[in-house]
Structures are given as C-alpha cells and as structure tokens.
Amino acid sequence: MRRLAAGVALITTTHEGRRYGMTATAVSSLTADPPALTISINRSASIYGPLMARGEFCVNLLRDSHLELCRSFSGASATDRFQHGVWRDHAQGLPYLVDSQAAIICRMGPSLTFATHTVFVGEVQSIVLDDEVAPLIYLDGDYCVAKRRP
C-alpha cells in the first residue's frame, strides 16, 4: 500500500472538554447523496474512545504548506497537538484547522471493526471550504506535493 498515494488529513474530536486528534491517510469519499466519507482508526489510538463517546468528528484535509504542521502534530503528545496551527471550534464544538483545504464536520454513521481497526462512516453535516487546491500527499513512506499542470 506504500505505492498508493493518499491525501493527508487530521481527524479531530472533543470529549469532556478536551481536544483529541490524529494524522490519517485512510480517508475516502463514500457517497455524494447523502454526502458521506469513511475513516479508519486503530482501536488503540488515543482518539478512539473519545470519538466513540462523542459520535462526531472533523476531517481536516491538509494542503502542501502543512508539512511541518503535520510532522509536529504527529510527533506531539496528545495535549500539545493543538499548539501547532490555527484552530477554531466549529458550531458543533469540534476543532478545525482554519487554513485547511477543507474541514468536513461529520456525525458518526455505521462502523465495521476488522482486526486492529474500525472503519467509520462519517455522515457529512457541514463543510468549511477553501478555494485553493494544493494537497499534501503521502506516498512510499514520505510526504510530497502534487504537481500542477500548466
């Protein structure tokens, strides 16, 4: 799967007044009507329990300029992750990255657990969208940027 290029996202939620987040590449569109996506999370991840309890999450699609933010977020302790980047709380109280390509607010739909991971369907509730499209991509164990056509 290292040969499959994937966009990079930060999955975020809150529970009992505390923010939780993780870096993810296992994010995929599912349906357009109704709008839905899927995320896959390891059941041992620190966000797993809070996500199950909250039942809502935000998928922040990263842009090419977020490379250092992504590395900082991934390497930081759970309490320090939100010290990097500019974060706001959406109307539902979910943290979203202000300059992400898109912040997709989801309510948890059906899920499927297999081995170490659970695949969650996210029923899209709202989107904060930026006009610029310049995704951060993960490929063959490293980050890269998409080259634009002239």
Does residue 92 lie within any of the structural domains?
Answer: yes
Does residue 41 lie within any of the structural domains?
Answer: yes
Q: State which residues form the domain around 127.
A: 6-145
Give the domain CATH number at 38: 2.30.110.10
Does residue 1 lie within any of the structural domains?
Answer: no
Side-chain-side CA neighbours of residue 75 (13 Å): 7
Does residue 139 lie within any of the structural domains?
Answer: yes
Average pLDDT over residues 56-74: 92
DSSP letters along 93-114, please?
S-EEETTSSEEEEEEEEEEEEE
Does residue 133 lie within any of the structural domains?
Answer: yes
| Buried residues in 118-129 as b, exposed as e (16+ CB within 10 A) | bebbbbbbeebe
Full-model pTM: 0.92
Does residue 122 lie within any of the structural domains?
Answer: yes
Domain count, the chain: 1
Does residue 150 lie within any of the structural domains?
Answer: no
Query: What would the two tokens of residue 30 be?
Result: 């599912």
Q: What is the pLDDT of residues 97-115, one digit of tens each?
A: 999 999 999 999 999 999 9
